[in-house]
Amino acid sequence: MSKKQMSRRGLLKSSAAVGVTLATPTIFTSSAWAAGYTNEPKGKTVTLGFNVPQTGAYADEGADELRAYKLAVDHINGEGDGGMLSTFTSKALKGNGINGKKAVFVTGDTQTKSDAARASAKRMIEKDGAIMITGGSSSGVAIATQGLCQDAGVIFMAGLTHSNDTTGKDKRANGFRHFFNTEMSGAALGPVLKNAFGSQRTAYHLTADYTWGWSQEGSIKKYSEKIGWKTAAAVRTPLGAGDFSQYITPVLNSGADVLVLNHYGRDMVNSLTQAVQFGLRDKQVNGKDFAIVVPLYSRLMAQGAGENVKGIFGSTNWHWSLQDAGSKAFVKSFGKKYGFPPSQAAHTTYCQALLYADACQRAGTFRPSGVGAALEGFKFDGLGNGPTEYRASDHQCFKDVLVVKGKENPSSKFDVLEVVEVTPRAQVEYPATMLGGNLGPYNDGA
Amino acid sequence: MDAILLQVLNGLDKGGAYALIALGLTIIFGTLGVVNFAHGALFMLGAFCAVAVKSVLSLEKVTLDPTKTTAWGTPMEIRVPYIEAWFGDFGATVLDFSVPISIIIAIPVMLLIGVAMERGLIRFFYKRPHAEQILVTFGLAIVLQEIVKSQFGANPIPQPAPDLAKGMIDFGIMVGFDAGNIVYPAWRLIYFLFSIVIITAVFAFLQFTTFGMVVRAGMADRETVGLLGIDIDKRFTIVFGMAAVVAGLAGVMYTPILSPDYHMGMDFLVLSFVVVVVGGMGSLGGAVAAGFMLGILQSFASMNEVKTIIPGIDQIIIYLIAVIILLVRPRGLMGRKGVMEH
Amino acid sequence: MRNSSMSKNDLILLFCFSAAILAGPIILAPIGAGYPDLLQKFAIFGIFALGFNILFGLTGYLSFGHAAFLGAGSYTAVWTFKLLSMNPLPAILLATLMGGLFAALIGFICLRRSGIYFSILTLAFAQMSYNLAYSVLTPITNGETGLQLRQADPRILDAALGRDYGAVLPSSDFFGIDMTGYPGFYFCAVILIACFFFSMRIFRSPFGMMLRAVKSNQNRMNYTGLNTRPYALAAFIISGMYAGLAGGLLAVTDPLAGAERMQWTASGEVVLMTILGGSGTLLGPVIGAGAIKYFENIFSSFNEGILMKAFDFLPESLQHIMVSISSLFVGEGWHLTLGALFMLIVIFLPGGLMEGFNRLRTWLGNRTGGGDGGAVPDTAPAPSVGGD
């Protein structure tokens, strides 16, 4: 009926959608290079979609991601001091936008909920014409958004997501991850824990009861048992439990001498604070000092645990105290603009934005399959993590992993962690087939 | 055995917190008949009283050290809290005791907030349907927490307990166990005792003072009390303020256990409603009993031995108990007939 | 009240409603809401709120657990896609049935109590569903990540009909029409109109009268020897089916079902939608649903750059001041606007947005002089709800 009154754009879109369905069998088998692709930038600008948590528990982390994105856009467009562009080994970006088009951006709120994140990403794709979506602060959201971007035919550059599944079981051709994962955390932590605590240890796991928590628990178990540790128990705790004391009291007399907290964000802050309150850090069991391990650290969140983090081991993707040229350039650029150092979330999202822009420039197009091909197997350096490779077979970045420890004598409120060891890439690498999943073909959309 | 005793202790500790949080809510229900969805926000505001006191106490004198620079090139700042710069060790002690000090500050602040809320908003909703009370107080809760977020950010802010109360207390020795078997954090025991004191004080106030008598009479039959020429409204305002103080104090004392963030009120909202309803709407004794009962059951359900038999039981135990109690006892543990049933 | 056949006014209302919904892409384009995903959300949450209103608006039973039915519907629909066919019809059919079945089970237990006790019972069931779906039931729900389609899913019916989706992940299609984008919206819109019609029929039927009677005085009804519970249960099941249908449609337009759809905040959202729009009115819930989804998607997307552009007609210093003030309310501060809106609406327009429209109409009517016979009257003005 009133379909006839639809706007021209709407009509075009819907008929195009029908057309795509009819053409589905052929579009992926034939070379579709001649056809357009989703949100092909036609004007003088190209729109990037930054989808970060702005409300909820990860709002501060999201705000930091957004700061980094704004910085990256400035640098891509040739404003500011250029940041890591000067240390980045690929020199394709000239500071005049991407493929000669000025980079602009739209923002959205994921609320750290899959539904909200997808709705927000869809808005950017359908309404604002975003060619790429990036951001996020949890694995559930990242996987959900990655699936959406695959369906819509745009590239997804994952933000902070640590679950193996993002580039394992749930990997997609259009999705790319710079952040590390639980497998790498486990592989990096294993030897360090052995050095620090010996091989005669019994670990007690408290695990956030959802996919990321299980993934983390599995990896730590795997590598701690490899160094001879025993696992006393692995107890699942509800997400957002707040008070974890009922799970900590059984640890006291369990005979275990290491507590592994497979928690992130607020859960980590609370469970760690409470474990220390229960005297676990100063406890002696079997003649050994009791130890607490937090496999995934977030400096931003660790501040919430205050002095409780002192001496506690964990891993992180990047830390602002690193002294390589790339990290220094980034910290300088970020600190100058905002007055405080960037978090690991800010770092990974900045890198992702830069890597995407660079790949477009090298490919000479924004077409997802073209950009993807430029990213696959891409080797680079100068972005703060040492020599890094975007592995073609699972779209996961492989680089050194940082093992860190809560600092005993922090010099400022940002100076919470110290780097204990930089685990070389070779030690954390695993075959892509190990985590399962299937990339499938690229989707360029229509 | 010691594992079970520890869980009982933990349950009491949790129960004390639940009872304390639910107490103010049930007072407001019982006296004013208002479904207050902003109660969690009051709890959160109390916690942020502690944050505010601490940040005022630790206001820092910033001097620039030109010889050192930060990683981004500006001169390094040397920050010393004024209070330490002025008073030395005494200042450091004051800072250490910021949470207990916050209690003294939180009482007038929360009373003021409570009275302002009642006079400014809630009193217009006494006669309005519950659904509208819920919507307006929920809106208020969102506004309050967004204001806190814009001031203090979204991340949790640590509030350590005083050094004195940081250690563990060997509870086992007191009841004849070997040393080191049943030890419990001092602050949590303090919280438990604190909740008992507050609960007793509220009971005593309502039972043994004339004011309390009038309020109780007002709860039972508001109209008749009004006809007797007693200005019940004014007293109800004070009751609301009192409930806000109780919620706020619960929040202040909870900060060393849970680093406060702007969202914590919402997390406790559902829980406190469940406690109040299981106890019976408007029943103070019911809320206290339900708080302790749910605390202890939750502790037991979280034990590994129980979880292996019924997976996931710790996730749902509170709701499961709520369902069972409400089906067996239509008005919760101690609810009166006709309250909030329509 | 009115007799059960369609009155002229109802016909006009239905016609205007349909026209407005179908013309949505054009009408809503100027305020930035004319894109498929948001339009789909308007329609789907409109259905959800319409159903909730049948329970809450008519009987006064305030359920805090309706998100459980929405979630159950979504999971059912995705499983139907995985096991049977990518056609949306079996998916929404089964989702509706599952919503109804869930509602029958939970309603049967919860309706033994009334008032706040009923609310907490429904809340308890929904929270249990959410907590279990997030953790222990992961084999069925895929937990935090959400239930997704896989290329290797069996899809028995599709396979039997010889339909092969090749190497790509299939999306739902209605006999060849892809259910994303505008076609997806029109699919939802047609169902919304059908739901609206059905809800209108209930409002006007003797059954609807009965439900209103449950609300106004249940005791009196019981004294007359009438058992009200079957009526309340029927309303509960119908609203559960609406919720299941809405959940199914969410999966049709976007085949992913996550546990957070069942969280108490999601249940709270539909309560807010209904009250915000005007509970007990026919149109109100749809408008309330639209308003909340609009805020969530559009207000949250405003950032400093957009604000700077919006105020660039001002001198620069003033521009910066305006931007810093207004940025408190948009972007990461959009919750503040929402909270303030709830308060303002309830304080000044207890009947929700519908009351606002009615007042506006009366005011305009008075200004133009005399009663306005041509306007379409809604149902009786929202009677007070829930109170004791």
pLDDT of amino acid C369 = 55
Higher pLDDT, C152 or A159: A159
ipTM: 0.88
Report the Cα–Cα distance between both ends of chain A, in Å, rounded: 26
Antiparallel, parallel or unpaired: β A102-109 and A45-52: parallel
Query: What chain A residue is nearest to B152 in terms of C-alpha separation?
Result: A60
Same-domain check for residues C260 and C314: no
Q: Is residue B51 within 8 angstroms of chain A, CB to CB?
A: no
Q: Hey, what domains does chain B have and what are their CATH numbers?
A: 2-57+104-328 (1.10.3470)
Contact A13/C261, CB-based, under 8 Å?
Answer: no
Residues C123 and C161 in one domain: yes
C127, C45: one domain = yes
Mean pLDDT of A185-210: 93
Q: Which of C180, C186, C331 sits opposite A107 (nearest CB)?
A: C331
Residue C190 has pLDDT above 50, yes or no: yes
Structural domains of chain A ordered from first start: 45-180+320-399 (3.40.50.2300), 183-316 (3.40.50.2300)
| Beta pairing, strands A230-237 & A202-208 | parallel
Q: Which domain holds residue C334?
A: 302-365
**Residue C267 falls within a domain, yes or no?**
yes
Same domain, C275 and C354: no
Instruction: Identify from B70, B99, B317 which residue to disrupt to test chain A contact, counting A C-beta atoms within 10 A and taking the largest count.
Output: B70
A60 and chain B: CB distance < 8 Å anywhere? yes
Question: Does any CB of chain A come closer than 8 Å to the CB of residue B157?
Answer: yes
Q: Tell me the helix, strand and coil percentages in chain B, rounded to 5.
A: 70, 5, 25
Q: What's the one-letter identity of residue C123?
A: L
CA B122 to chain C, closest CA, distance in angstroms equals 10
The tokens describing C6, both together, are: 């369609």
The pLDDT, as a whole number, for residue A230 is: 94
Q: pLDDT digit string (tens) for A5-62? A: 444 444 444 444 444 444 343 333 333 344 689 999 989 999 999 999 988 888 889 9
Domain annotation covers residue C381:
no
Model confidence pLDDT, tens digit, residues A383-439: 999 999 999 999 999 999 999 999 988 888 888 899 999 999 999 999 999 998 889
Contacts of B259 (CB under 8 A, 6+ apart): A269, A270, A273, A304, A305, A306, B156, B157, B158, B159
**What is the rounded CA–CA span in Å between residue C23 and residue C42?**
13
pLDDT value, residue B1: 67
Residue A110, pLDDT score: 92
A255 touches chain B (CB under 8 A): no
B33 CB neighbours in chain C (<8 A) are 388
The predicted structure's pLDDT at residue B282? 79
CATH code at position C89? 1.10.3470
Residues 6 or more apart from C74 whose CB is under 8 A from it? Answer: C95, C147, C247, C248, C250, C251, C257, C261
Q: How far apart are CA A69 and CA A77, in angstroms?
A: 12
Structure tokens at B198: 């507050």
Over residues C115-130, the mean pLDDT reads 91
Is the Cβ pair C336, B331 closer than 8 Å?
Answer: no
pLDDT score of C4 more than 80? no
Q: Residue C228's pLDDT is what?
A: 84
Same domain, C78 and C215: yes
Residue carrying the six token digits 């809630």: B122
CA distance A97 to A313: 41
pLDDT, tens digit, for every residue of B95-147?
888 899 999 999 999 999 999 999 999 989 888 888 888 889 999 999 999 99
Predicted confidence band of residue A78 (pLDDT cuts 50, 70, 90) = very high
Mutate to test the interface with C, among B28, B222, B315, B321 (most CBs of C within 10 A): B315
pTM above 0.90, yes or no: no
pLDDT digits (tens, 9 = 90+) for A86-142: 999 999 999 999 999 999 999 999 988 888 999 999 999 999 999 999 998 888 899
Pair type for strands B168-170 and B75-81: unpaired
E-assigned strands of A53-201?
102-109, 132-135, 155-158, 175-177
Nearest chain A Cα to C128, which residue?
A238
Same domain, C343 and C253: no
Between CA C344 and CA B142 the distance in angstroms is: 13
Mean pLDDT of C218-222: 75
Lowest mean pLDDT among A3-7, B207-211, C63-67, C266-270: A3-7
| Statement to judge: residues C327 and C201 lie in one domain | no
Q: Which of A20-29, C300-309, C372-381 has the highest mean pLDDT?
A: C300-309
Residues from chain B that touch C328, judged by Cβ atoms under 8 A, are 150
Is A174:A368 a contact under the CB 8 Å cutoff? Answer: yes
Assess whether C156 and C249 both reside in one domain.
yes
Burial bucket for residue C96 (CB in 10 Å: 0-12, 13-18, 19+): buried
| Beta-carbon separation of C136 and B331 below 8 A | no
CB contact at 8 A, A52 and A348: no
Q: Is any Cβ of chain B less than 8 angstroms from the Cβ of A247?
A: yes
Residue C15 located in a structural domain: no
User: Which amino acid makes up residue C207?
Assistant: F
Residue B207 exposed, middle or buried by CB count within 10 Å (0-12, 13-18, 19+): exposed
C376 assigned to some structural domain: no
Residue C102 and residue C243 in one domain: yes
Amino acid occupying residue C101: L
- pLDDT computed for residue A424 by the predictor: 94
Among the partner-chain residues B154, B166, B168, the one whose CB lies closest to the CB of A59 is B154
Higher per-residue pLDDT: B274 or C329: B274
List A residues 318-337 in contact with B (Cβ-Cβ < 8 A).
Answer: 320-321, 328, 331-336
φ, ψ of residue C146 in degrees (nearest 5): 95, 150
- Is the pLDDT score of C378 beyond 80? no
- Determine the pLDDT at residue C381: 38
In a domain, C342, yes or no: yes
B267 at interface of A, judged by CB pairs closer than 8 A = yes
pLDDT of C125 over the 50 cut: yes
Sign of CA dihedral C326, C330, C335, C340: positive
Contacts for A379 with CB less than 8 Å, ≥ 6 apart = A387, A388, A389
Residues C67, C212 share a domain: yes
Domains contained in chain C, number: 2
Domain end point (choices C282, C315, C334): C282
What's residue B45's pLDDT? 96
User: Do the beta carbons of residue C73 and residue C98 sit within 8 Å?
Assistant: yes
- Chain C interface test: which of B135, B272, B274, B306 (most C C-beta within 10 Å): B135
Q: How far is the alpha carbon of C353 from chain A, nearest alpha carbon, in Å?
A: 25
Q: Do the chains contact at B273 and C131, CB–CB below 8 Å?
A: no
**How would you classify the pairing of strands A132-135 and A155-158?**
parallel
Q: Number of Cβ pairs closer than 8 Å across B and C?
A: 146
Confidence label for B339 from pLDDT (cuts 50, 70 and 90): low
CA angle C253, C254, C257 (to 5 degrees): 125
Residue identified by tokens 């919280």 is: B191
Contact B70, A335 (CB under 8 A): yes
C384 in a structural domain: no
Q: What is the dihedral of CA C312, C314, C315, C320, to 10 degrees?
A: -70
C-beta of residue B295 within 8 angstroms of C-beta of residue B278: no
CA A250 from centre of chain: 33
Residue B51 confidence (pLDDT): 94
Domain assignment of residue C11, yes or no: no
Does C139 have pLDDT greater than 50?
yes
Q: Percent of chain A at pLDDT above 70? A: 92
The reply to whether C382 falls in a domain is no
Across C152-162, average pLDDT = 84
- Inter-chain CB proximity C22 and A2 less than 8 Å: yes
Same domain, C360 and C257: no
pLDDT in tens, A251-298: 988 889 999 999 998 889 999 999 999 989 888 888 899 999 999 988
In which residue are the tokens 């009351």 written? C355
B185-to-A274, B157, B166, B191, C354 alpha-carbon distances in Å: 9, 20, 7, 10, 55
Residues C278 and C327 reside in one and the same domain: no
Looking at residue C379, what is its pLDDT?
41
φ, ψ for residue C51, nearest 5 deg: -65, -40
Return the pLDDT at A426. Answer: 93
